[in-house]
């Protein structure tokens, strides 16, 4: 067994742990990611990298995985990693040439390059770069002067509020002032404005979004309605965490049920996990993820969400690691892939069950051998596991 194969397997085995927190990268093509950015009115952040690039590896391991980086980038961008030597990266490079690695790009939903930086970054520097990219698309200034001069044309005020929201600037006062002035606008215009203005769910504006749900879905479409409602509810969850208001968490989950019922249970369990993790209420945190694992239909994604969250904050909690072992085993039995095997073995190692991990990997190798499969990954995994016995 060569050192290179052993290294590859070791990295693969621990890759789940490295993704336990930090930036959540979009799984799909760059064109799909750009379409998502356009639909959600966000910038697309692209990490254009190469496998052999040292600074790229360092950022992937030490920067993208940091909680504060993930919190900022997940809230403000659609995030995408592109290996520029693979097919999708090559097609991207035809339109957006890359001369050095890593190259960090911020593009709008129409494909316009907003900001472009080369070279490895530390966490605070990367967040500052992202903030600068957002400022570059801040369009509120072009509406502010006319608004301050007294212009209350519907399109101007609507676009002003939308630009403020897009730049993460306060808009609530302007929205309330406008609506309280009883502007001469149609009912359709009023509803459109309310949906844009309701940036959090703990507001009277959001109560109007709930009261006019059927009309808004008919007028603006179900996808846009639910996307806006989910974003507003998430803002209120963060507010509940910041101010330690469990009552606000409960209220927000109830409003989620009214506005996007199909996804409300999943949202509620994840929101509860966030809140109780922050408040260090271990029993309620564990209850929330157990409910998520039991109730939701998106089994793979939700199990992975739970396991990553446990690894990011509670990898020394024996009860939670035991739960994670159960979830990773279910995924392994369902998918029977090298990745799911590696994840299962990762948790067994954390639970100091190396012998059991070796037994599972040996059985998997024997099965692959009977099927005539490539055994190198299994050999590497077993070598890695045996090294953990020392």
Nearest Cα to Cα of residue 45 among 90, 108, 91, 95: 108
Domain 21-136: CATH superfamily is Glutaredoxin (3.40.30.10)
Contact 172, 239 (CB under 8 A): no
- Confidence at residue 13, expressed as pLDDT on a 0 to 100 scale: 53
From the candidates 53, 229, 233, 345, give the one annotated as an active-site residue: 53
CA distance 270 to 234: 10
- Confidence at residue 297, expressed as pLDDT on a 0 to 100 scale: 53
CA distance 15 to 382: 16
What single-letter DSSP state applies at residue 45? E
- Confidence at residue 8, expressed as pLDDT on a 0 to 100 scale: 47
Mean pLDDT in order along the chain per 10 residues (390 residues): 49 52 90 92 94 92 86 90 95 94 94 94 92 86 93 96 87 96 96 96 97 97 91 94 97 98 94 96 97 75 87 90 94 86 91 94 92 88 86
pTM of the prediction?
A: 0.75
CA distance 159 to 27: 31
Examine the residue annotation and report whether 229 is marked as an active-site residue of this protein: no
- Confidence at residue 19, expressed as pLDDT on a 0 to 100 scale: 52
- Confidence at residue 240, expressed as pLDDT on a 0 to 100 scale: 97
Examine the residue annotation and report whether 345 is marked as an active-site residue of this protein: no
- Confidence at residue 11, expressed as pLDDT on a 0 to 100 scale: 47
CA distance 101 to 84: 9
From the candidates 56, 229, 233, 345, give the one annotated as an active-site residue: 56
247-251 long-range contacts (CB < 8 A, ≥24 apart) are 248/202, 249/275, 251/201, 251/202
- Confidence at residue 145, expressed as pLDDT on a 0 to 100 scale: 92
- Domain range summary for the chain, segments of one domain joined by +: 1-18+311-390, 21-136
């Amino acid at each position: 067994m060569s050192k290179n194969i052993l290294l590859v397997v070791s990295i693969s085995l621990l890759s789940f742990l490295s993704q336990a927190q930090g930036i959540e990268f979009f799984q799909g093509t760059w064109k799909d990611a750009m379409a998502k950015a356009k639909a959600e009115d966000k910038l697309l952040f692209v990490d254009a990298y190469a496998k052999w690039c040292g600074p790229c590896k360092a950022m992937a391991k030490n920067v993208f995985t940091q909680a504060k980086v993930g919190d900022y980038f997940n809230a403000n961008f659609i995030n995408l990693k592109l290996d520029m030597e693979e097919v999708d990266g090559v097609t991207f490079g035809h339109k957006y040439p890359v001369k050095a690695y890593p190259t960090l790009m911020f593009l709008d939903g129409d494909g316009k390059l907003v900001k472009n930086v080369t070279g490895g970054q530390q966490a605070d520097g990367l967040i500052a770069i992202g903030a600068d990219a957002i400022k570059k698309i801040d369009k509120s200034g072009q509406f502010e002067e006319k608004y301050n001069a007294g212009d209350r044309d519907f399109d101007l005020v609507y676009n002003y509020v939308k630009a403020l929201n897009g730049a993460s600037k306060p808009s609530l006062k302007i929205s309330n002032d406008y609506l309280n002035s009883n502007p001469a606008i149609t009912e359709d215009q009023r509803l459109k404005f309310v949906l844009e203005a309701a940036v959090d769910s703990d507001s009277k504006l959001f109560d109007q979004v709930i009261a006019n749900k059927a009309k808004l879905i008919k007028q603006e479409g179900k996808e846009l309605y639910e996307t806006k409602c989910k974003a507003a509810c998430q803002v209120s969850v963060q507010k509940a965490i910041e101010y330690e208001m469990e009552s606000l968490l409960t209220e927000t989950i109830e409003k989620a049920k009214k506005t996007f019922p199909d996804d409300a249970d999943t949202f509620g369990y994840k929101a509860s996990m966030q809140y109780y993790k922050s408040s260090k209420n271990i029993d309620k945190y564990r209850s929330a993820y157990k409910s998520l694992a039991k109730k939701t239909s998106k089994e793979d994604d939700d199990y992975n969400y739970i396991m990553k969250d446990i690894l990011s904050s509670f990898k020394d909690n024996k009860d939670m690691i035991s739960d994670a072992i159960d979830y990773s085993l279910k995924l392994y039995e369902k998918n029977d892939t090298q990745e799911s095997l590696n994840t299962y073995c990762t948790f067994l190692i954390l639970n100091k069950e190396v012998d059991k991990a070796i037994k599972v990997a040996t059985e998997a190798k024997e099965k692959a051998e009977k099927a005539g499969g490539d055994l190198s990954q299994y050999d590497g995994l077993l070598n890695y596991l045996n090294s953990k016995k020392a």
